[in-house]
Amino acid sequence: MTTRKELVEALRARYREAAARDKVKILDEFSALTGYHRKHAIRLLRDEATANEAPTRNRLYDQAVRESLTVLWEAADRVCGKRLKALIPMLVDAMERHEHLDLDPVVKTKVLQVSAATIDRVLADARSHINGLRKRRRGVGAAIRRSIPVRTFADWRDPAPGFFEIDMVEHCGGPKTDGDYVHTLTMTDIASGWTECVAMRVRDQMLVIEAFEKVATDLHFTMLGIDSDNDSTFMSQAIFDYCKGRGIEQTRSRAYKKNDQAWVEQKNGAVVRRLVGYGRLSGSVATKALASLYESSRLYINFFQPSFKLKSKTRDGARLHKVYFAPATPCERLVAHSGIEPAIKEKLTAQFRTLDPVRLLQEIRSAQQTLSDIAAHGIPSEVPSTGAADVATFLLSLSSAWKDGEARPTHRKQSKAKHWWRTRPDPFADAWPVIEGWLTVEPSIAAKVLMDRLVAMVPEMYANQAQLRTLQRRVKAWRSARVTEMVLGGLSRASAVPAEA
């Protein structure tokens, strides 16, 4: 580029003084050397081109509109531009109704008329600051499985509200291993996209039935059918009898065909993993924390999260062309559906008008922080109660939350995640009371001597003395605890360090 500018400066004076024939030759040579279009070359050599200065753009959407869109984007949990475009009218109305937003009429008009492409362009800087396959448990064939009919993705054919696809997500923190982990039962209505998530302490068929009862109580419409994969938990006599006794149609997908359950598989990522992340959750404390998260998120997702729904799909050779309906929330789809009774529609509309999306989002973030602490350290943190002042503070933070990167605590990288759970059995679980008795009588005895005594006592377990290093660390920790107890007395008992495995 520098060489071209130098060439232009050198030829400009010569071009002005040249005759018409010479100008033609100069233009031919200049265009061949630089690759410029002939008209552009004429403007450059005449010094008429002022294109070096970028023209000022008459921007329709100023900084106020950009900040308003940023707040709305954060309040919508960072959905894409197309979904946010469909959500903006109801979100602005809800936030103004709860006195979270007071837009200037001119700014409000621009926010309501902005296109989805412009929303993505405006939020590009905010998104750039954010840091940017799970195996399925195989089912077991049985007579129950063979008696349940198969339903593929193409067999739904626009059913009425009440037919759900169900699946389970295991929160094991990585590749699946043996152990009791918290599970999420995901249920997605085919017609509306209404999604219910239930936390379960373990994978158990009776807990699945309890989850069905809970969801049936919370739903505004009747559960007509369930479609699951070939998981042995779903292919059980208890669930088969439950569905048959309540007139619920039970179907299953084909083995190893995830696309047969495309509706719920999509929600496993867009809802469950987006909310919970991929941390390791186990125990009753984690189950309660996850249930608390789903209690707030179910209203936020079903009333304030628009989603796409496939309208048609055509194939032209190797190219697949998909057409979608306009983004809409599950609540909107239920209200617009002809199969829903007017009383239920009025009830949904009345419930929608009482919901505060900002407060729900704050409750979601608080529950996510608790889950993040449990996944990283095994214990929840103390989360302060949310009040009107806290909601106002949370609302103010939405305009600049993108500067801090990831807003969801469950997706933030932990600086030092402590491996607090045991991965191997304790080799001295049964023998430690005996060892502690020996140490009490002979405090200065060597760990090697203790190991020899264990070999003589239980040769089938300690014959190779592979646990000697572990015993040495355990004895060292025991002596350190005794020294601390001698120095501090009874105060050290409450804060004694647990023995190392």
pLDDT confidence of residue 14: 83
Q: Percentage of the chain with pLDDT > 70? A: 88
In degrees, rounded to 5, the angle at the alpha carbon of residue 156 between the alpha carbons of residues 345 and 82 is 60
Which residues sit opposite 195 in a β-bridge?
188
Q: Whose CA is closest to 209, among 184, 175, 238, 180? A: 238
Q: Does domain 143-411 have CATH number 3.30.420.10?
A: yes
- Looking at the predicted structure, is the pLDDT value of residue 40 above 80? yes
Q: What angle do CA 319, 189, 219 make, to 5 degrees?
A: 165
Residue ranges covered by each domain of the chain:
2-46, 143-411, 432-494
Number of Cβ within 10 Å of residue 289's Cβ equals 25
Q: How does DSSP classify residue 321?
A: E
Task: Round the average pLDDT of the chain to a whole number and report it.
Answer: 85
> Between residues 495 and 43, which one has the greater pLDDT?
43
Instruction: Give the count of beta carbons closer than 10 Å to the beta carbon of residue 180.
Output: 11
pLDDT beyond 60 at 497: no
| pLDDT attached to residue 23 | 85
> Higher pLDDT residue, 175 or 107?
107
The predicted-structure confidence for 235-255, as pLDDT tens digits, reads as follows 988 999 999 999 999 999 998
One-letter amino acid of 344: I
Q: Is the pLDDT assigned to residue 332 strictly greater than 50?
A: yes
Given pLDDT bands bounded at 50, 70 and 90, which one contains residue 340? very high
For residue 53, give both structure tokens: 């200065």
